[in-house]
Chain A
Amino acid sequence: MMWGALQRKGVLGINRRNARYTLFSNDRSRYPLVDDKLATKRLCSEANIPVPRLLARAGLHREARLLPERLRREASFVLKPARGAMGNGILVIHGDGKGGFLRAGRPIPEEDLVYHAAGIISGLYSLAGHQDAALVEERLEAHLELASLAPGGVPDVRVIVYRGLPVMAMIRLPTLRSGGRANLHQGAIGAGIDLARSRTSHAVLRHRPVSVHPDTGESVVGVGIPEFERVLEIAVHATDRTGLSYVGADVVVDAVRGPVILELNARPGLVIQLATRAGLRPRLDAVDRLLGRHDCDWQQALPVQERVVLGQQIAAEQAG
């Protein structure tokens, strides 16, 4: 019963995602472009796609020891692994104005920063435990219209891009329980976005439907996403650069800079279907019908804006 109901809804299961989309249509040799945030950053910068500014990079333990000195003047920054997964190992740090550092409002000793960077370099947070590099990026700030929705964190928009078309999107709202992180399995809210209307339509918290943010009580359904067209455009544009055909792009709408690509993911999760309350399969199949055979060179044919419109149409048709 359960089975048939999911089937009718067109829910994409993990086996099918792996077999048809992440394994079959994503060229394995291109994974490093998205797994390594530094490579993604370079890729996007070359095409003038906005990304968080890189403040420092430490690939060796002795470079990690130099970090506090280099970062003393910054008002705030984010320390993260270049090849981390699922938001692990990320520290958000503020300057205290006197050359010291604060984490979540409390002072954090310099040694702790160095120790954390050393852990990153040892591969503690990297995908397969390999040697990694610690990156320091500017801290993005939530757009004013979204700031009230996510106290203590920066929400980001996850866009699933398939063969150059945006097919599904949700906004991830950090909660106190998620520790300010925008990861659903850590307790962030996922709110599905209606691609055509640029508004959230449903929301889930830990796989259960919710309508208000547990920390603020504000409604998380029916919220308009600022500059949403631009979000979809840079998601599609960045995906084009990777040569991968099934990608989850994470975009932050920054208060100052507007939409910025945070990272790309070659194995995006499937919980987005819960947040949008829609299955992925009908949309993916519609893209395949529209574009025809898999190996044709369709990407260059259409400008990014037109593909965004196509994606919005497909989403609207499948929803209707």
Chain B
Amino acid sequence: MSRSVFVTGLLLVAAGLGLLAVKVGVYGIPLVPTETPGPWQVELRIHVRGEGGRGSVRALLPPPSATQSIFDERSSSDRLSFSIREQEENRLGVWTGWLEDIHEIVYQFRIQSRPREVAVPAPGEGEPLSRALRLQFTRPTSALPASAAAVKELLAQLDLPSQDDVAARIRTIYAFVAHEIERIPSAGDDALLTLAHRGGSAEGKERLLITLLRGAGIPARVVRGLELREGVTPEPRTWAEASARGVWIPLSAVHDFFGSRPEAFIELGRGEQPLVEATGVRVVGHRFMAIRESLRPDEIASLLAPDNPVLRKLSLYRLPVPSQAALRVLLLLPLGALTVAFFRNGIGIATYGTFLPVLIALALRDYPLSMGLALVAIVTGLAVFARGGLERLRLLMVPRLSILLCLVVLVVTGLALLGEDVELPDLFAGVVFPIVILTMLVERLYITSAEEGLREALIRAFWSVVVAAGIHPLLRSEIAGYLMFSFPELVIAIVGLLVWIGGYTGYRVADLVRFRALVRDGSGARPS
């Protein structure tokens, strides 16, 4: 390695690591994510098409409570004014203004869900609900027909425990709805129909639960929220709350919880208020997105707004959720490139192309490694199989490769159907990108097998996949993801390492293997 290469590499590595050291040492940004699961970062994006007059858009905003804390709330909307209105127990975000054409409203927040077990107070303890509230939450409504004959009849059949044991009364009704009422996704939301058919939708079951509770004189209400899961779009969820001696107990006959809601659920509001509604608009649509952070809220605060104004400007945590999600993946690619450079120039492994292994690893990122490798094996196996048949037809190159693409698509379609049967519907959720990459692999395999024989082609495909498998865990690693995203200056250090690898003129491991016969002969003496 020449001196200038060494110094250049050293400067870059030092610059990258130095910046990291300053951020960690001076500004107290944590170097590794904490063990405890951190808060969620949620984004609500609303699109409206106005009618060309005044109008407003309303959305339920998460209320801070004992079981969830909200921080870092932000809203952005073009040409609309934003306010938060407290309405009974709900927080409503209201955007008003002149609505014409298309408006995009973005509302972001971070939320830490901390569910805890809610116990029913012992008799005599607890403060009962006021008479007015009691009336409000036991009153029959059109959606919750608590006074209907069918409800009364069923409650009589259920043989509820005495009025004193509220907890047992709630539990009996809960058990009935949870176990005796079937969940039919295609069914309607009506509480009475759900009761009559002994089956209904998720919404229908929860409404029936609340209706029955109200019918039995127990105050109950609808709660609306989201279920957050990593890598999946947040799902709107409905569940119930019942009041026992003044304490609201969360319960759900669909999601099977009683007394404590799952950690993945967050509350957005109560009652019949929809998650998003609008007036004065032609169309309204909305979408939630969420990503999980791996830090405590105070640590995020240090990343979000470090003491230094320059660092604050450069913090990636300020970006909108979709950009963050994309950048988290993007910033891992230099690590993949570094791995490939090491494998090729340090070890001397022949792979297809320079970055195909990185792309393969990226394409398979959403699958567990074993499933990803199986996918690669199936697709390459098919290509090798089809090669024989296509060879006989003597087709020209481009159509021949196009036929292979068609075959790959057919196989993946088949696998998707298969995935549905074995209840892995997510298997081919984001399938377009992997297909493009796998087709590239097949194309290289095909060309190499024509040029240098099937053996050589398969060997190279094998090594490409081995390198991809080496990169795959990096791309899925939480720590690597956190480090690269929180300290993007590491890319500079990686460039430094690449300068070193590029200037490395020593032997590759493959050289050592290849020339071992020269060494074994030892003396170096020449026979005459």
Contact = CB atoms under 8 A, between A and B. Distances in A.
Contacts of A207: 514, 517
Nearest to A179: B453
A6 B394 contact: no
Contacts of B517: 204, 207-209, 274
Interface residues of B, number: 29
Contact of A13 (B506, B518, B521, B524): B506
Contact of B518 (A86, A129, A274): A274
Contacts of A22: none
B508 A13 contact: yes
Contacts of A20: 505
A175 to B, nearest CB: 16
Interface residues of A, number: 40
A125 interface: yes
A274 B451 CA distance: 25
Given A15-B508, A16-B505, A119-B397, A2 B516 contact: yes
A207 B519 CA distance: 12
B450 to A, nearest CB: 5
Contact of B511 (A13, A88, A119): A13
B505 A118 contact: no
B78 interface: no
A19 B394 contact: no
A14 B447 CA distance: 24
B518 A122 contact: no
Contacts, number: 88
Contacts of B385: none
A16 B515 contact: no
B527 A9 contact: no
Given A124-B451, A273-B515, A319-B526, A15 B345 contact: yes
A277 interface: yes
B507 A15 contact: yes
A122 B518 CA distance: 41
A209 B3 CA distance: 39
B512 interface: yes
B505 A124 contact: no
A27 to B, nearest CB: 20
21 contacts: A2-B516, A7-B507, A9-B524, A11-B507, A13-B505, A14-B348, A16-B505, A19-B503, A19-B505, A86-B452, A122-B396, A122-B397, A124-B447, A125-B451, A202-B527, A204-B517, A207-B514, A273-B515, A274-B515, A277-B521, A277-B524
> Sorted from nearest, which 7 A-B pairs have the closest CB atoms?
A16-B505, A13-B507, A122-B397, A5-B519, A13-B511, A88-B451, A19-B505
Interface of A: 2-3, 5-9, 11, 13-16, 19-20, 85-86, 88-89, 111, 115, 118-119, 122-125, 129, 201-202, 204, 207-209, 270-271, 273-274, 277, 279, 319
Given A16-B506, A20-B505, A119-B397, 4 more contacts: A6-B519, A19-B503, A201-B527, A274-B517
